[in-house]
């Protein structure tokens, strides 16, 4: 066995360095990553170390405490969640069948896409709602911790080479038109129709530290909570509960659970397989 004792010490040292780094970021820049799930966080910090060409986390800490530009780059690494349009097509099928009829009963509905990243999910939802004739009766609030990704989301430009995959997803998600009607191919990518973003409010919001800001009929937060450790997941679930109207719907990612919500008994399964839950008390 290769030097287990020294290696143990290295790993412990790395743990100390990570904790100090997160503490430093919190105190210097106000972003609190201390309750993020450690395994992915560690990978993302290492990626930034490679990017900045430093060998240790302490060296990275030194750089980013003194240079906000380094912090901005790390913030992108730590907070950007990779997503796709109509990811999990069966989820969107279920949304059409089970959530849309409920939305029709309201004169006006508010939807919140929490942790929207670069906006793929927002545009998917906007397309779905437009096809269901609800575009004028809904407002989508799309929030993220990171201003830079919100700017990207506002633009609504996605890589052209993804369009084949997204088209397939769209069809499997029950899309009723031709997907290519929604975007124009430009040199810089597939630019999605302006109308789609008209009913969308993009705003900065930090799930870790910010409070509820409105009452919603639907909250969509898919594959965001997986990056949080359990205590932080509980906090965010509390925030979602407080932000949902009675009979409002919470949509989670395929592998996420409502079990960590302190309000689990207040929800009913609308579609257990697709992770759609309805607030009933």
Partner 1 sequence: MSYEVIAIGASWGGLQAVGTLLEGIPQQLDQTIVVAQHRSAESSRGVLESLLQRHIGRPVSEPGDKEPVEPRHVYVAPADYHLLVEDSHFALSVDARVQFARPSIDVLFESVAQVYRDRAIGIVLTGANEDGAAGLAAIKRNGGVSIVQDPQTAERRMMPDAAIAGSVADAILPLEQIGPFLYGLCCP
Site residues, partner 1 (CB under 8 A): 1-4, 7-8, 11, 37-40, 42-44, 81-83, 87, 168, 223, 225-227, 230, 233, 253-257, 260, 273
Q: What is the dihedral of CA 211, 214, 219, 220, to 10 degrees?
A: -70
Q: Give the tokens for residue 100.
A: 């849309």
Q: Give the tokens for residue 220.
A: 């969509």
- Nearer Cβ to partner 1, position 37 or 65? 37
How many alpha carbons lie under 13 Å from residue 211 in its C-beta half-sphere?
1
Cα distances (Å, whole numbers) of residue 65 to 34, 52, 94: 16, 14, 46
Q: Give the tokens for residue 121.
A: 């999910």
Q: How far is the CB of 223 from partner 1 (least distance, A)?
A: 5
Contact between 110 and 139 (Cβ < 8 Å): yes
Q: How far is the CB of 269 from partner 1 (least distance, A)?
A: 15
Q: How far is the CB of 240 from partner 1 (least distance, A)?
A: 16
SS3 of 128, please?
helix
- Nearer Cβ to partner 1, position 229 or 280? 229
Cα distances (Å, whole numbers) of residue 223 to 72, 117, 198: 22, 11, 25
For CA atoms 94, 96, 102, 108, the dihedral sign is positive
Q: How far is the CB of 25 from partner 1 (least distance, A)?
A: 19
β-partners of residue 250 are 219, 277
Q: How far is the CB of 97 from partner 1 (least distance, A)?
A: 18
- Cα separation of 264 and 252, whole Å? 13
- Nearer Cβ to partner 1, position 65 or 258? 258
- Nearer Cβ to partner 1, position 180 or 230? 230
Q: How far is the CB of 94 from partner 1 (least distance, A)?
A: 13
SS3 of 262, please?
coil
- Nearer Cβ to partner 1, position 57 or 109? 57
- Nearer Cβ to partner 1, position 14 or 23? 14
């Amino acid at each position: 066995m290769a030097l287990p004792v020294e290696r143990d010490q290295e790993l412990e040292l790395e743990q100390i360095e990570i904790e100090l780094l997160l503490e430093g970021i919190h105190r210097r820049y106000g972003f609190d990553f201390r309750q993020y799930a450690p395994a992915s966080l560690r990978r993302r910090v290492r990626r930034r170390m490679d990017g900045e060409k430093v060998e240790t986390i302490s060296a990275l800490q030194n750089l980013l405490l003194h240079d906000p530009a380094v912090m901005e780059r790390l913030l992108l690494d730590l907070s950007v969640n990779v997503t796709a349009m109509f990811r999990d097509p069966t989820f969107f099928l279920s949304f059409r069948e089970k959530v849309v009829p409920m939305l029709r009963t309201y004169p006006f509905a508010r939807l919140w896409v929490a942790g929207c990243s670069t906006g793929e999910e927002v545009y998917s939802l906007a397309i779905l709602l437009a096809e269901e004739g609800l575009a004028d009766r809904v407002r989508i609030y799309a929030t993220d911790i990171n201003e830079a990704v919100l700017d990207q989301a506002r633009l609504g430009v996605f890589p052209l080479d993804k369009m084949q995959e997204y088209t397939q997803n769209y069809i499997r998600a029950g899309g009723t038109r031709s997907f290519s009607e929604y975007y124009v191919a430009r040199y810089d990518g597939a630019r999605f129709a302006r109308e789609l973003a008209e009913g969308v409010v993009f705003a900065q919001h930090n799930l870790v530290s910010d409070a509820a800001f409105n009452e919603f009929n639907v909250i969509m937060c898919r594959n965001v909570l997986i990056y949080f450790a359990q205590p932080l997941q509980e906090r965010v679930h509390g925030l979602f509960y407080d932000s949902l109207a009675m009979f409002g719907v919470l949509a989670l990612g395929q592998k996420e659970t409502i079990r960590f919500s302190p309000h689990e008994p207040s929800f009913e399964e609308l579609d257990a397989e697709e992770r759609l839950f309805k607030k009933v008390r």
